[in-house]
Each structure stands twice: as C-alpha cells, then as structure tokens.
C-alpha cells in the first residue's frame, strides 16, 4: 500500500523579502511549489498539501530565550531600520523587516506540523519546504536564520519519548542544531557539508563529536571544495547511512538544502541532482518515519528542481527529465534558461578531485575510529 505523505506549503512563505541585494530569495518557495504542481505532484493519491499555522511561543521557548524573542517581536513590528548585533539582527546577513517574526514563526510552524503529522496522524513522510533554518542559536540570528525550526520540532519529538536522527546535507554546517543537542544521546546529529576551514559558519569538523552523554552522537563530514557527486555519495554511504541504520531512530528529520549544487553562487561543492537523488532514494528505503525540511540554495531554479525531485522520490514517482512547458514559461520571466530537471553525473577536474578524495577518506577514517564504536558497537546496533 502506498504510504501517506504530506507537503507543507503556504503562499505566505513568499510574501516577505530580505531585500533585493540579499542572496536569499523567498520566490524559491513559490517556484518549487509551481514545479511540483506542473508535474502533477500536488494531486497524487495518498498525498495531501497542508497549509500551516505559526508556531506557538510555548514551543519557541523550548529553545529560544525570552529576551531574544522579545527583540524579534519589537523589530518585526516596525518598518524603520533597526539593528542589535548582540542578537545578530540588522546586519547584511540577517536583515530585519516588518513582519519578520510572523514570517519566521510560519515556517517554523510548518516543521512542527510536519513532525505532528508523522508521529500522530499516520503520515510516513511530511515535507516542509520552508523549514531548515539550522544556523539560528538560542539568543542569536545567524546565517539567514532567525528561529531554529529543526531544534524546536525535535524538542517536541523528545517530549514524546522519540529518539531522533537529524541528517543535514546542506552545504553549510548545522551549527545551531548541533549546539542544541551536543550533550544528548537521544538525537544523533549528522552533517555532510563544505569544510568550515574557510567557509561559514567555521564549524563542523570531525573532532566535534559531542560531550557527556552526547559524546559520539555529533557526526561531521567536512568536504573540500570541488567535492563531486561520487565523493558526496561516498560520504553518505560510508558514514551517514550505516550510522542511521544502526541508531534505528523513531523519527528521521532531514535538512535538504540545495546549495551543494555546482552552480550555486555561494558555495564551492560540485554536486548535481544525480547524487542528491541517490541519497534521497536511500533514505526512503530505510522506511523510518520521515520529517523533511528545505534549507539553503541561492540559485532558485536549483532549489525548485531539488525539492521537486525530493517530493517525487518520497512518493515513488518518476519524472520526465525535461521541465514541463508551463513551468518553462514561468522561469523565463525570471531569466532562468535551464530546461532540464535532471543533471548528468558530474566529475570534478582531476587535481581538484584527488584533493577532495584524500580529504573525505581522512574524514571517514576519523569517524570510523571515534564514532562507529559508540553508535554501532560490537553488535551492529546501538542499544535502546
């Protein structure tokens, strides 16, 4: 029997703006939904599209500080330029604008709703495309992120006694999520990302493995620039997949940022739809109750293609590789010229690839030495 799946979408996701010069464009949410609709993916049997409500302040307070939330509300209510760098607000990275708090609460509410659908309403998979704000800290905005929807949703799952795997395949390390669960063995946090050596947020190295009860439950695979499809799949197959299977969580939450793609303007990885789709198919095969969220991606057509592919894979649908004609008409208005949904598998140039290969093999060896004995142990499965 086909599993029940849920897509979280609101037209209000695209109502606000970080500013014309800011790399984060909210139009990507509308483009992703329109591409899904053009492929017929919003009307499949067994699927349902849900609107969402803003998250409650009670839920926000499971992670964020009252003073930070009060400052967000204050700035959100004004149309005058504001800044408070103690809270990471008002700089070029995290601009403030009227309605900011309401907008951030809406996306966060979508992730909380997705977790509820999976744990309480019989859905196998729920995907909130407006989630994935993994850089937000308890009392500070960071990396375009104001509220950490992933942490808040996971806190709700922990209250229900669930054990959670959080997997992040965004190009940027999930520093806010890692920070929240660094001392917990109830959340296994795995991040495969571009190395923070010369890249935001400057964290996510192999030595960051957790503390106390959480030692061994934070896993980081930093990738060198020019990491290509084969190396991305290698990192997933040799680290993430066996650890997720061994931990055997009650719920899996994945952040599916598309800024790993080789044409993204802010990153230096060389990933395509080939390895992105491969990872999603492997995740679905685990048959773990699955909450998925969006994330980064600064070339809007890449985001639309990636999340449409993700939603198709979640529903077991095969898509024709050429983008539908109605969608091509839409993207021409924005100046996008790409006409294909799928990319061919990409190989980086030999010298670049060899350096990236050496780096990922070193990372895998370190993780196998420090992490695998904790999670996999002698019996291939962590005890419950």
Q: Is 129 helix (H, G, I), strand (E, B) or coil?
A: coil
Residues 6+ apart with CB under 8 A from 104: 72, 133, 146, 147
Cα angle 303-307-311, degrees, rounded to a multiple of 5:
170
Sheet holding 164-168, edge to edge: 47-50, 5-8, 125-128, 290-293, 251-255, 164-168, 187-194, 218-223
| Positive or negative torsion for Cα 17, 18, 21, 24 | negative
Give the Å distances, CA to CA, from 317 to 31, 47, 146, 171.
Answer: 19, 12, 34, 26
> Is beta strand 290-293 parallel, antiparallel or unpaired with respect to 251-255?
parallel
User: How far apart are the C-alpha atoms of 220 and 225, rounded to whole Å?
Assistant: 16
Q: Is 271 helix (H, G, I), strand (E, B) or coil?
A: strand
Is 135 one of the annotated active-site residues of the chain? yes
User: How far apart are the C-alpha atoms of 142 and 93, rounded to whole Å?
Assistant: 7
Q: Cβ(136)–Cβ(147) under 8 Å?
A: yes
Domains and CATH numbers, the chain: 5-375 (3.40.800.20)
The answer to whether the predicted template modeling score (pTM) of the entire model surpasses 0.85 is: yes
Percent of the residues in the chain that have a pLDDT greater than 70, as a whole number: 98
The first and second tokens of residue 135, run together, are 């850089």
Q: Residues 221-234, buried b or exposed e (16+ Cβ, 10 A)? A: bbbbbbbbbbbbbb
The per-residue pLDDT for range 169-220, each reduced to its tens digit, is 999 999 999 999 999 999 999 999 999 999 999 999 999 999 999 999 999 9
The per-residue pLDDT for range 324-367, each reduced to its tens digit, is 999 998 898 778 888 999 999 999 999 999 999 999 999 999 99
pLDDT of 81? 83
Partner residues linked to 125 by β-bridges: 5, 290
Report residues of the chain scoring pLDDT below 50: 378-384
pLDDT of 379? 35
pLDDT of 378? 45
Read off the DSSP letter of residue 3: P
Q: Cβ(59)–Cβ(149) under 8 Å?
A: no
Determine which one of 64, 134, 135, 137 is catalytic.
Answer: 135
User: How far apart are the C-alpha atoms of 161 and 168, rounded to whole Å?
Assistant: 22
């Amino acid at each position: 029997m086909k599993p029940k799946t849920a897509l979280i979408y609101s037209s209000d996701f695209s109502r606000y703006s970080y500013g014309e010069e800011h790399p984060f464009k909210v139009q990507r949410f509308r483009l992703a939904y329109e591409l899904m609709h053009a492929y017929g993916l919003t009307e499949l049997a067994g699927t349902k599209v849900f609107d969402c409500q803003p998250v409650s302040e009670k839920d926000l307070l499971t992670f964020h500080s009252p003073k930070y939330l009060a400052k967000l509300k204050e700035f959100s209510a004004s149309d005058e330029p504001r800044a408070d760098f103690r809270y990471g607000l008002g700089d070029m990275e995290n601009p403030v604008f009227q309605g900011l708090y309401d907008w951030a609460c809406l996306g966060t509410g979508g992730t909380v709703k997705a977790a509820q659908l999976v744990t309480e309403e019989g859905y196998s998979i729920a995907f909130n495309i407006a989630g994935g704000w993994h850089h937000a800290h308890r009392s500070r905005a960071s990396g375009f992120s104001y509220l950490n929807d992933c942490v808040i949703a996971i806190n709700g799952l922990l209250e229900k006694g669930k054990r959670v795997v959080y997997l992040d395949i965004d190009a940027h390390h999930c520093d806010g999520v890692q920070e929240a669960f660094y001392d917990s063995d109830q959340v296994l946090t795995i991040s495969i990302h571009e190395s923070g050596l010369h890249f935001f947020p400057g964290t996510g190295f192999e030595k960051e493995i957790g503390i106390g009860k959480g030692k061994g439950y934070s896993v980081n695979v930093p990738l060198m620039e020019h990491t290509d499809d084969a190396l991305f799949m290698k990192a997933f197959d040799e680290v993430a997949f066996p650890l997720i299977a061994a931990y055997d969580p009650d719920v899996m939450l994945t952040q599916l940022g598309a800024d790993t793609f080789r044409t993204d303007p802010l990153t230096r990885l060389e990933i395509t739809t080939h390895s992105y789709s491969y990872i999603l198919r492997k995740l679905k095969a685990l048959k773990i109750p699955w909450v998925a969220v969006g994330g980064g991606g600064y070339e809007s057509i890449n985001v639309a293609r990636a999340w449409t592919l993700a939603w198709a894979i979640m529903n077991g649908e095969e898509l024709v590789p050429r983008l539908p004609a109605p969608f091509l008409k839409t993207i021409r208005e924005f100046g996008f010229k790409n006409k294909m949904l799928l990319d061919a598998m990409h190989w980086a140039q030999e010298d670049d690839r060899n350096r990236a290969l050496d780096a990922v093999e070193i990372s895998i060896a370190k993780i196998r030495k420090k992490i695998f004995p904790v999670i996999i142990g002698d019996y291939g499965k962590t005890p419950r």
